[in-house]
């Protein structure tokens, strides 16, 4: 095992690259290639990649090394559908309005980060930490795709405001409708998102 400090640093650095879409779907991740970049030996690199495999951000098919998960239209649609189902459950179970209209306050670097903060607040308002962890894990898996959505979607700020207002007023019917619209819009652009993702970086 690697030293805890080195492992955490390496793990955080690789995870940040994965979430920013630094690698294409299916691309091999060579531990040795990270060594010089992260100034670390191969052991903490491998330890980090194993942990990221457990988080489903990386794949290790039949112990043949590490690679980025393969994504198809079907698998991406399944991810969005699971995202919808988790948020619908939170919408039905939340105990109190977790945010104000317009979305959660904070220095969010992009629209999707602001939306994700809103979704996490909604999950947190269920009072169930397992719900928060499930939403967070899915956000991390969708992050590279969500970063591309702005190129294909308009009125994202208005979309966020509608969801936040429905939460603030505890209008569960409007919240369900806004979440359905959110996911329907993304389901329509799955082919375009995958095409752009395969072009990155």
Question: pLDDT digit string (tens) for 1-53?
Answer: 555 588 999 999 999 999 999 999 999 999 999 998 999 999 999 999 999 99
pLDDT confidence of residue 51:
96
- What Cα–Cα distance (Å) separates residue 31 from each residue in 8, 12, 38, 150, 186? 16, 15, 11, 32, 34
Q: What is the dihedral of CA 155, 161, 167, 172, to 10 degrees?
A: -40
Question: pTM to 2 decimals?
Answer: 0.88
CB 72: neighbour CB atoms within 10 A?
11
More confident of the two residues 65 and 2 = 65
Question: pLDDT digit string (tens) for 126-173?
Answer: 999 999 999 999 999 999 999 999 999 999 999 999 999 998 888 999
pLDDT confidence of residue 102:
47
Question: pLDDT digit string (tens) for 74-127?
Answer: 999 999 999 999 999 999 987 765 554 445 556 556 888 999 999 999 999 899
Question: Which residue, chain included where needed, has tokens 């269920």?
Answer: 126
């Amino acid at each position: 095992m690697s030293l805890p400090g080195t492992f955490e640093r390496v793990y955080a650095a690789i995870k940040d690259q994965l979430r920013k879409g630094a690698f294409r779907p299916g691309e091999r991740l060579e531990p040795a290639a990270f060594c010089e970049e992260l100034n670390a030996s191969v052991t903490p690199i491998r330890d980090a990649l194993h942990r990221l495999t457990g988080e489903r951000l990386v794949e290790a098919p039949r112990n043949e090394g590490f690679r980025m998960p393969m994504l198809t239209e079907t698998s991406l649609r399944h991810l969005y559908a699971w995202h919808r189902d988790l948020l619908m459950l939170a919408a039905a179970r939340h105990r109190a309005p977790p945010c104000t209209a317009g979305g959660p306050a904070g220095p969010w670097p992009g629209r999707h980060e602001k939306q994700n903060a809103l979704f996490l607040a909604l999950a947190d308002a269920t009072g169930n930490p397992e719900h928060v962890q499930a939403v967070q894990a899915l956000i991390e898996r969708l992050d590279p795709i969500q970063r591309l959505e702005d190129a294909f979607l308009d009125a994202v700020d208005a979309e966020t405001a509608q969801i936040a207002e429905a939460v603030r007023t505890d209008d569960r019917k409007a919240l369900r409708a806004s979440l359905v619209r959110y996911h329907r819009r993304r389901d329509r652009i799955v082919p375009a998102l995958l095409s752009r993702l395969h072009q990155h970086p």
